[in-house]
Amino acid sequence: MGIGLGMSQIAHIEGRLQMRQGFLDDAVVAYESLGKLNANTSNAVIIFTGLSPSAHVASTESDPASGWWEDMVGPDKPIDTNRYFVICINSLGSCFGSTGPASCDPATGLPYRLTFPVLTLEDVANAGAKVLDHLGIERVHTVLGASMGGMTALAFALQHPQRAEGLVSISSAAKSLPFSIALRSLQREMIRRDPAWEAGNYPIPGQGPAMGMRLARKLGMITYRSAQEWETRFGRERTVDREPDVGPFGIDFEIESYLDAHAEKFVGSFDANCYLYLSRAMDLFDAADHGGSLKQAFARLGLRRAMVIGVETDFLFPVHQQEELALALEPHVEDVRFARLDSVQGHDSFLVDMERFRPTIASFF
């Protein structure tokens, strides 16, 4: 399928993995670990990712390719692998080694495609807990996640109150709001309405609705950054290499060229059905489901420390959602810190604004 496991390790889940709405048999979860687990297994940090990354969070000797958070994780970096045993999880439902809609259903020998059960971030979190079982880790020093990963980290802390001492939630939220649901719903519709989607049955997982994936990725890129950043970076600059043969409505401005280059890279590198399942899982997440209200849900948390980080220019997960999350954690967690960063790169700032994010994350660890 052209989409690889890389050097990830695999945890086989014994027996049946119960999901919120269904189950999986013989499921696997791909993960990568960095650093060394100490003798009393107290130095583990588990990282849940956003929608699209693999478990390859940072380069190692065995896999020297740059990871998606290369500047944050490693020896002497803010999440210091000289001190911590870092485990990054490829989300259940994704296509980089973990079982997902592109994987083979052992019952039929065919890819699950749309027969994959409805996916929730609670399921993704539980699959992460299975990796800890596999590694013999009862309790982690910190569960950390950004974007979708922040919701998954919260789902982990809610479902396994004794298994995490600390939580770091970055540019995330306790629930999805209608604005981000609308954007993701439209992205999914772009994919679903591409005739090459074939109602989910495109022949080769990882291929299929290239047009829909291209459009969805462009909308993603628009929502991941900020208007301010683009004004400074691109302004009204015209592109030098105009797209040929597309008539009067092709690429003219630099901003159009930038989006096109990013979309081009994405198409064929992520499976469309996996994208649909993970995207919907974000919409479905509401931490208040774990109690009659957010307050009741958070009363069950077993955390001792939490850090919530938000970015002012993020309009996909607006900073007021992070502020609300920090406030809601306060009565139930001894040590809660809230960092409001003035990065200009919007939602994606945690990936690029190392000047602000590195010291903030380092201060927690």
**What is d(CA 328, CA 295) in angstroms, rounded to the nearest whole number?**
7
Question: Which residues, 83 to 122, sit near a copy of itself by CB under 8 A?
Answer: 114, 118
249 belongs to the binding site for a copy of itself (CB under 8 A): yes
In the bound state with a copy of itself, the residue whose beta carbon lies nearer, of 32 and 348, is 348
The residues facing 46 across adjacent strands are: 87, 143
Q: Shortest approach of a copy of itself to residue 51 CB, angstroms?
A: 15
Q: Which stretch binds a copy of itself (CB under 8 A): 42-50, 129-137, 160-168, 253-261?
A: 253-261
Q: Is 172 among the residues known to form the active site?
A: no
Q: Which stretch binds a copy of itself (CB under 8 A): 2-10, 249-257, 332-340, 350-358?
A: 249-257
In the bound state with a copy of itself, the residue whose beta carbon lies nearer, of 47 and 319, is 319
Strand 22-25, strand 104-105: pairing = unpaired
Residue among 189, 198, 264, 335 that touches a copy of itself (CB under 8 A): 189
Amino acid at 292: G
**What is d(CA 360, CA 78) in angstroms, rounded to the nearest whole number?**
9
**What is d(CA 78, CA 198) in angstroms, rounded to the nearest whole number?**
45
Q: Is 141 among the residues known to form the active site?
A: no
259 belongs to the binding site for a copy of itself (CB under 8 A): yes
**What is d(CA 112, CA 100) in angstroms, rounded to the nearest whole number?**
7
In the bound state with a copy of itself, the residue whose beta carbon lies nearer, of 45 and 276, is 276
Is residue 288 within 8 Å of residue 297, measured between CB atoms? yes
SS3 of 105-169: the string is ECCCCEECHHHCCECCHHHHHHHHHHHHHHHCCCCEEEEEEECHHHHHHHHHHHHCCCCEEEEEE
261 belongs to the binding site for a copy of itself (CB under 8 A): no
Which residues of the shown chain bind a copy of itself in the complex (CB under 8 A)?
Answer: 114, 118, 175-179, 181-183, 185-186, 188-190, 192-193, 195, 199-200, 211, 214-215, 218-219, 222, 226-227, 230-231, 233-236, 246-249, 251-256, 259, 276, 280, 283, 286, 315, 318
